[in-house]
Chain A
Amino acid sequence: MTAATRRGGDAATDLATPVLEVVDLGCAFPSARGPVRALSGVSLRVPRGRVLGIVGESGSGKSTLARAVVGATPATAELTGGIRVGGADLAELPPARRRELRGRRIGMVFQDPMMALNPVVPVGRQVAEAARHHLGLSRRDATERAVSLLEQVGVPAARSRLRSYPHQFSGGLRQRVTIAMALSCDPDLLIADEATTALDVTVQRQILDLLAALVAERSMSMVLISHDLGVVAGRTDEVAVMYGGRVVEHGPTREVFHRPRHRYTRALLDSVPRLDRVPDRLSAIPGQPPDPAALPPGCAFGPRCPATAEDCRSAPPRMVAVDGHRAACLHPPEEP
């Protein structure tokens, strides 16, 4: 199936329209200590066929961002800002249409495949069901599609395993099954949220290579979310670094990694152990990740930053263009 027939010549999905556009997205959870700001002012766009990496520590907001995009935030979350999928503003759509658009255009792969799969439903049905609903396939067509998807993601003897249950698969194969599920409706965008974190290192690599191959074959876009810079480094076109619920640096992956223009990115890169040097000790970032219920008024990284100054403490720095990418740092690190 070619990209053109797949998208059915829909005007809203022409090649210039980004598959995903997030504008000034905010997300807060009410709590006894006041609102917990999980996301603030996040703006990102994912052009067609491109791979965006999102990196950051746990609690930086990267998973909340993914969930907000696919509509899986808890009911108590207060969302602000806009999300456009294939040019369509989700806020303008009725809920049923919104759910369908997300389900069809965006595939999501979660961290733990055992949790993402229903333990009492055969995998064949789990892979086929979304296609039956969204594409109106018959039972037989949907089954054929499930076989073909499972083959594409590298599940051996796919046809004979349609009636198997998730617990009968290994961890790596389970994650392949969830990828097949995510691909069920030929999405324009695949979001992989820590998709390899729960897997063995060797399997991790296979899954990442599979994702890269699928993205290339299907001219899909992908958002690859990881706390592991090594996962994102060679496999993304662009990378966004998140800290304290904000994007603090964003640009082409090489630019960001070779010439970081935010103190946090710099510190993050320095904390990656390297095989080609023998360090005295691992350089860790001092202090604790920020508490999203009590973010400082200024730069969220300020309390841990070696270069923090008076001007960092008044308001969160704005994203400004530097060296071919954008960063929100008033005192950027020197060239290495």
Chain B
Amino acid sequence: MTPAAPTVPATTAAAERPTRRRRHGRLLARLAHLVGVLVLVTLAATALVDLLPGSPAATILGPTATAEAIAELEAETGYDRPLPERYATWLGNALTGDLGSSVQSNRPVLEQILDRVPVTLELTVLALVMALAAAVPAALLAAHREGGPADRAATGLASGLLSVPVFVAGVLLIYAFAVVTGWFPVSGWSPLSDGLVDNLAFAFLPALALAIGEAPGFYRLLRGDLVHTLHQDFVRTAEVRGLPRRYVLLRHALRPSSFSLLTVAAMTFGRLLAGSVVVESLFALPGLGALALQAIPARDLPLIQGIVALVAVVYVVVNMVVDAAYAVLDPRVRAA
């Protein structure tokens, strides 16, 4: 935290100027931090070649490859160059939008990633909306009467769901809503461009499986913070003024209780956007998780590096959005 500016009596205009300068300074510091994170993460991804035993070229060419062929491919891909040089090359290309080509398919990495992003993005948004739509009302209901029947039921359910691994939830959902009832397709994907109804039919169950994994955590976090807020003096003053409980919950308690939920939900958004390997495999979805799952065993390093870079960018951007959202939710942050 920056030390407070000396309190010199000043006119409003004069007082605003250092504040704005400080704000700009903070923004620059954030950007520097952001760039630092990206560099470190992509550098680590480039270093994978040195960290993994054996040569990626050997893996790519298979067990029958000759030593000359391996050496030739290493020279061609640049895996024989020292790390700083490899990284400089990768970074230079990446900044011009060239993430290289997949060694498996020879297609540009960027194109392959962009093919998969819509699936994972849609899944992520749907899952997050479903999880919040379940968790927020449940938390409000539970915190309204701490220890009451609704609280005990919801908290018990959340604890139960928290201990269900996502692949179990996914299998059960497929069994109940695809195999037995036939309401939803068992697996696969239909892009949004082929019609919303088909698309949602394919997206619903995997999103629900993800939401079931995230909602209990959201619920517990918000319920805890709400209960804490409801014990605050300003809630008591609101009640002393005869304001209805529902109003107090929604207009006084919810906002100051939502800071940690905001952080966790944003981090979840970033995590899900990196691709959910389990759910995408289970439902045979062409998302980023499935792409990563196919790139890693094949030692498709350009593809892995591209995915890692994307995930890092997503996290950094999400972090910045969370910071901005804090300022919207909490006026004290705005002034600080």
Contact = CB atoms under 8 A, between A and B. Distances in A.
Contacts of A121: 251-252, 255
B247 A133 contact: yes
The listed residue with most A CB atoms (<10 A of its CB), out of B237, B243, B244, B255, is: B237
Contacts of B240: 70-72, 102-103, 108
A72 B331 contact: no
Nearest to B146: A75
A127 to B, nearest CB: 10
Given A72-B236, A133-B247, A167-B335, A120 B329 contact: yes
B237 A108 contact: yes
B194 interface: no
Contacts of A168: 335
B15 to A, nearest CB: 13
A120 B242 contact: no
Contact of A167 (B252, B256, B332): B332
A103 B239 CA distance: 8
A168 B330 CA distance: 13
B237 A110 contact: yes
A165 B242 contact: no
B154 to A, nearest CB: 20
A189 interface: no
The secondary-structure label for the interface of chain B is: helix
B243 A129 contact: yes
Contacts of A117: 234, 237
The listed residue with most A CB atoms (<10 A of its CB), out of B237, B240, B243, B330, is: B240
Contacts of A71: 239-240
Contact of A120 (B236, B244, B331, B335): B331
B241 A119 contact: no
A121 B251 CA distance: 8
B232 interface: yes
Interface of B: 232-234, 236-244, 247, 251-252, 255-256, 329-332, 335
Contacts of B251: 121, 129
A328 interface: no
A120 B332 CA distance: 8
Say which size band chain A's interface belongs to.
20 to 34
26 contacts: A71-B240, A72-B239, A99-B242, A100-B242, A102-B240, A102-B242, A103-B243, A108-B240, A112-B233, A119-B256, A119-B331, A120-B329, A120-B331, A120-B332, A129-B247, A130-B241, A133-B243, A133-B247, A165-B331, A165-B332, A165-B335, A167-B332, A167-B335, A178-B237, A181-B237, A184-B241
A292 B124 CA distance: 57
A112 B238 CA distance: 14
B252 A118 contact: yes
A326 to B, nearest CB: 30
Interface string A103-115: 1100110101001
A233 B237 CA distance: 27
A120 B256 CA distance: 7
A205 interface: no
Nearest to B255: A120
Contacts of A104: 242
B7 to A, nearest CB: 13
